[in-house]
Protein backbone atom coordinates (compact mmCIF):
# COMPACT_ATOMS: atom_id res chain seq x y z
CA UNK A 1 0.00 0.00 0.00
CA UNK A 2 1.47 3.34 -1.01
CA UNK A 3 2.64 5.45 1.90
CA UNK A 4 2.73 2.49 4.31
CA UNK A 5 6.05 0.88 5.32
CA UNK A 6 6.48 -2.66 4.04
CA UNK A 7 8.88 -5.36 5.12
CA UNK A 8 10.07 -8.24 2.94
CA UNK A 9 11.35 -11.33 4.71
CA UNK A 10 12.63 -14.75 3.71
CA UNK A 11 11.34 -17.38 6.11
CA UNK A 12 13.99 -19.74 7.48
CA UNK A 13 13.55 -22.86 9.65
CA UNK A 14 13.48 -22.63 13.45
CA UNK A 15 16.64 -23.51 15.34
CA UNK A 16 17.40 -24.40 18.97
CA UNK A 17 18.54 -21.63 21.32
CA UNK A 18 20.75 -21.33 24.41
CA UNK A 19 20.25 -19.68 27.77
CA UNK A 20 22.90 -17.09 28.64
CA UNK A 21 23.39 -15.12 31.83
CA UNK A 22 21.95 -11.63 32.12
CA UNK A 23 24.23 -9.01 30.61
CA UNK A 24 25.07 -7.21 27.38
CA UNK A 25 26.58 -9.25 24.56
CA UNK A 26 27.98 -8.57 21.11
CA UNK A 27 25.86 -10.70 18.78
CA UNK A 28 25.58 -11.40 15.06
CA UNK A 29 22.16 -11.97 13.49
CA UNK A 30 22.17 -15.44 11.88
CA UNK A 31 18.55 -15.67 10.67
CA UNK A 32 15.05 -14.27 10.94
CA UNK A 33 11.76 -16.13 10.67
CA UNK A 34 8.15 -15.01 10.51
CA UNK A 35 6.37 -16.77 13.37
CA UNK A 36 3.07 -16.79 15.24
CA UNK A 37 2.35 -16.97 18.96
CA UNK A 38 -1.25 -18.23 18.85
CA UNK A 39 -2.24 -17.52 22.49
CA UNK A 40 -0.58 -14.10 22.71
CA UNK A 41 -2.42 -11.24 24.46
CA UNK A 42 -0.76 -8.94 21.95
CA UNK A 43 -0.24 -9.14 18.20
CA UNK A 44 0.44 -12.86 17.56
CA UNK A 45 2.32 -12.21 14.28
CA UNK A 46 6.02 -11.81 15.11
CA UNK A 47 9.52 -11.92 13.69
CA UNK A 48 11.94 -14.18 15.54
CA UNK A 49 15.57 -13.03 15.26
CA UNK A 50 18.36 -15.55 15.93
CA UNK A 51 21.79 -14.36 17.11
CA UNK A 52 25.16 -16.00 17.61
CA UNK A 53 26.68 -14.68 20.84
CA UNK A 54 30.32 -13.65 20.32
CA UNK A 55 32.71 -15.58 22.57
CA UNK A 56 30.03 -17.68 24.34
CA UNK A 57 29.70 -21.44 23.87
CA UNK A 58 26.65 -23.61 24.48
CA UNK A 59 26.57 -26.88 26.46
CA UNK A 60 27.91 -28.87 23.47
CA UNK A 61 30.84 -26.51 22.85
CA UNK A 62 29.31 -24.82 19.81
CA UNK A 63 28.48 -21.13 19.52
CA UNK A 64 25.62 -20.01 21.79
CA UNK A 65 22.49 -19.04 19.82
CA UNK A 66 19.85 -16.80 21.40
CA UNK A 67 16.62 -15.49 19.96
CA UNK A 68 14.50 -12.38 20.35
CA UNK A 69 11.05 -11.51 19.09
CA UNK A 70 9.36 -8.38 17.84
CA UNK A 71 5.97 -7.62 16.41
CA UNK A 72 5.82 -7.43 12.62
CA UNK A 73 4.53 -3.86 13.00
CA UNK A 74 6.98 -1.36 11.52
CA UNK A 75 6.30 2.21 12.65
CA UNK A 76 8.48 4.90 14.21
CA UNK A 77 7.43 3.83 17.75
CA UNK A 78 7.74 0.06 17.24
CA UNK A 79 10.37 -2.28 18.65
CA UNK A 80 11.16 -3.46 15.11
CA UNK A 81 11.94 0.13 14.06
CA UNK A 82 14.33 0.65 17.00
CA UNK A 83 16.02 -2.68 16.26
CA UNK A 84 16.58 -1.70 12.63
CA UNK A 85 18.16 1.54 13.88
CA UNK A 86 20.42 -0.51 16.19
CA UNK A 87 21.57 -2.50 13.14
CA UNK A 88 22.50 0.77 11.42
CA UNK A 89 19.46 1.20 9.19
CA UNK A 90 17.63 4.50 8.89
CA UNK A 91 14.00 3.48 8.36
CA UNK A 92 11.62 6.01 6.89
CA UNK A 93 7.87 5.90 6.46
CA UNK A 94 7.16 5.02 2.81
CA UNK A 95 10.53 3.34 2.25
CA UNK A 96 10.75 -0.44 1.71
CA UNK A 97 13.25 -2.33 3.86
CA UNK A 98 14.44 -5.86 3.07
CA UNK A 99 14.69 -7.01 6.67
CA UNK A 100 16.61 -10.17 5.72
CA UNK A 101 19.64 -7.94 5.08
CA UNK A 102 20.24 -7.61 8.84
CA UNK A 103 21.49 -11.20 8.73
CA UNK A 104 25.25 -11.07 9.19
CA UNK A 105 25.15 -7.69 10.93
CA UNK A 106 26.25 -7.15 14.51
CA UNK A 107 24.56 -5.37 17.40
CA UNK A 108 24.66 -5.59 21.19
CA UNK A 109 21.88 -7.59 22.85
CA UNK A 110 20.74 -6.67 26.35
CA UNK A 111 19.71 -9.87 28.15
CA UNK A 112 17.73 -9.63 31.39
CA UNK A 113 16.32 -12.22 33.82
CA UNK A 114 12.65 -13.19 33.71
CA UNK A 115 10.36 -13.94 36.67
CA UNK A 116 10.42 -17.66 35.81
CA UNK A 117 14.22 -18.02 36.12
CA UNK A 118 15.16 -17.73 32.46
CA UNK A 119 16.64 -14.83 30.52
CA UNK A 120 15.45 -12.97 27.44
CA UNK A 121 16.68 -10.31 25.05
CA UNK A 122 14.96 -7.08 26.07
CA UNK A 123 16.63 -4.70 23.64
CA UNK A 124 19.18 -4.36 20.87
CA UNK A 125 21.60 -1.44 20.84
CA UNK A 126 24.15 -0.32 18.26
CA UNK A 127 27.78 -1.35 18.54
CA UNK A 128 30.01 1.37 19.98
CA UNK A 129 31.15 3.86 17.35
CA UNK A 130 34.24 2.73 15.49
CA UNK A 131 33.61 -1.00 15.97
CA UNK A 132 33.66 -2.67 12.54
CA UNK A 133 30.61 -4.50 11.28
CA UNK A 134 30.78 -8.01 9.84
CA UNK A 135 32.49 -8.47 6.51
CA UNK A 136 30.65 -9.42 3.29
CA UNK A 137 27.27 -7.92 4.18
CA UNK A 138 25.46 -5.11 2.42
CA UNK A 139 25.67 -1.70 4.04
CA UNK A 140 22.28 -0.73 5.50
CA UNK A 141 21.76 2.15 3.07
CA UNK A 142 22.15 -0.26 0.12
CA UNK A 143 18.94 -2.12 0.96
CA UNK A 144 16.60 0.86 1.26
CA UNK A 145 14.40 1.52 -1.77
CA UNK A 146 11.96 4.33 -2.34
CA UNK A 147 8.33 3.17 -2.44
pLDDT in tens, 56-112: 988 888 899 999 999 998 999 999 999 999 999 889 998 888 888 899 999 999 999
Q: Does 138 score more than 70 pLDDT?
A: no
Check residue 3 and give its pLDDT. Answer: 54
Check residue 39 and give its pLDDT. Answer: 82
Check residue 11 and give its pLDDT. Answer: 41
Q: Does 139 score more than 60 pLDDT?
A: no
HEC assignment per residue over the chain = CCCCCCEECCCCCCCCCCCCCCEEEEEEEEEEEEEECCCCCCCCEEEEEEEEEEEEECCCCCEEEEEEEEECCCCCCCHHHHHHHHCCCCCCCCEEEEHHHHCCCEEEEEEEECCCCCEEEEEEECCCCCCCCCCCCCCHHHHEEEC
Check residue 142 and give its pLDDT. Answer: 41
User: What's the rounded Cα separation, in Å, for the pair 38 and 8?
Assistant: 22
Of residues 142 and 102, the one with the higher pLDDT is 102
Check residue 129 and give its pLDDT. Answer: 82
Check residue 41 and give its pLDDT. Answer: 82
Check residue 121 and give its pLDDT. Answer: 93
Q: Does 132 score more than 60 pLDDT?
A: no
pTM of the model: 0.76
pLDDT digits (tens, 9 = 90+) for 10-68: 444 445 677 888 999 999 999 999 988 888 788 888 999 999 999 998 888 889 999 99
Answer yes or no: are the C-beta atoms of 17 and 95 closer than 8 Å.
no
Check residue 31 and give its pLDDT. Answer: 94
Amino acid sequence: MKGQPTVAIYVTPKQPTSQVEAGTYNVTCTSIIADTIPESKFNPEIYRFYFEVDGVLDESGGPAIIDAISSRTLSPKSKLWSWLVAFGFKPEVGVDIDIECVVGHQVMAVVTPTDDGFTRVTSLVPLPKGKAMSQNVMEPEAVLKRA
